[in-house]
Amino acid sequence: MAKHWKYYSDQDKQTDPDYGTDIIAKERYVSKEFMDLEVENIWKKVWLMGGPLLDLQNPGDYITTEILGEPILISMGDDNKIRAFYNVCQHRGNRLVHSIKGNNSEHSCSFHGWRYNSNGELKFAPDEETFPQGIPCDKLKLKELPCDTAIGFVWFSLNKDVEPLEEYLGIINEHLNPYHFERQFIVNDVTVEMPYNWKTSVDAFNETYHVVQTHPELTSWIEDLDIQIDCYDKHNRYLVPFGTPSSHIKDKKTITDDLKLYMEQAGIDPSKFKGDATEVRRAIQLHRRKHGKEMGYDFSELNDDQLSDDFHYLIFPNITLNIYPESMMLFRQRPHPTDPNQCLFDLQNYVMQPDANIPGVTERERRIGGGKIAKIPEQPERPLHRQFKHGEESLGLVLDQDAYNLPNVQQGMNSAGYDGLWLGSQELRIRHFHATIDDYIYKNKR
Query: Which CB atom, from 103 or from 214, has the smaller least distance to Fe ion?
Result: 214
- Radius of gyration over every alpha carbon of the chain, rounded to an integer in angstroms: 24
From the list Fe ion, ligand FES, none, pick the one residue 402 interacts with, judged by a Cβ distance below 5 to 8 Å according to partner type: Fe ion
**101: helix, coil or strand?**
strand
385 binds ligand FES (CB under 6 A): no
User: How far is 33 from 104, CA to CA, in rounded Å?
Assistant: 41
114 binds ligand FES (CB under 6 A): yes
Instruction: Give the interface segment with ligand FES, choosing from 91-99, 178-186, 361-369, 373-381 (CB under 6 A).
Output: 91-99
- # binding residues, ligand FES (CB under 6 A): 9
Which residue sits closest to Fe ion, CB atoms considered?
402
Residue 143 as a binder of ligand FES (CB under 6 A): the answer is: no
Query: Which of the ranges 108-116, 162-170, 187-195, 285-293 carries the binding residues for ligand FES, by CB under 6 A?
Result: 108-116
Closer residue to Fe ion, CB minimum distance, 75 or 246: 246
CA nearest 197: which of 335, 314, 389?
A: 335
298 binds, among ligand FES, Fe ion, none (CB under 5 to 8 A by kind): none
Asked if 256 and 219 count as a contact pair (C-beta separation under 8 A), the reply is no
Q: What is the largest CA-CA distance in the chain?
A: 84
When asked if residue 98 is in the footprint of ligand FES (CB under 6 A), the reply is: no
CB distance 259 to 220 below 8 Å? yes
Cβ neighbours for 358, distance < 8 A, ≥ 6 positions apart:
293, 296, 297, 298
Beta partners for residue 238, in sequence order: 229, 312
Phi, psi for 404 (deg, rounded to 5): -65, -45
Give the residues lining the site for Fe ion (CB under 5 A).
402
Question: Closest approach of Cβ 225 to Fe ion, in Å?
Answer: 15
Identity of the residue, 111 or 388, whose beta carbon is nearer to ligand FES in the bound complex: 111
CB of 29 to Fe ion, least distance (A): 18
How far is C-alpha 275 from the chain's CA centre?
A: 35
- Minimum CB distance to ligand FES smaller for 91 or for 446: 91
Select the span of 90-98, 164-172, 186-194, 347-355 touching ligand FES (CB under 6 A): 90-98
- Evaluate whether 101 touches 76 at the Cβ level (below 8 Å): no
**Which one, of 211, 214, 207, 152, lies nearest residue 185 by Cα?**
152
In the bound state with Fe ion, the residue whose beta carbon lies nearer, of 102 and 407, is: 407
CA 296 vs. chain centroid, Å, equals 25
What type of residue is 249? I
Return the residue of 13, 32, 81, 112 that touches ligand FES, per CB under 6 A: 112
Q: Which residues bind ligand FES (CB under 6 A)?
A: 89, 91-92, 94, 109, 111-114
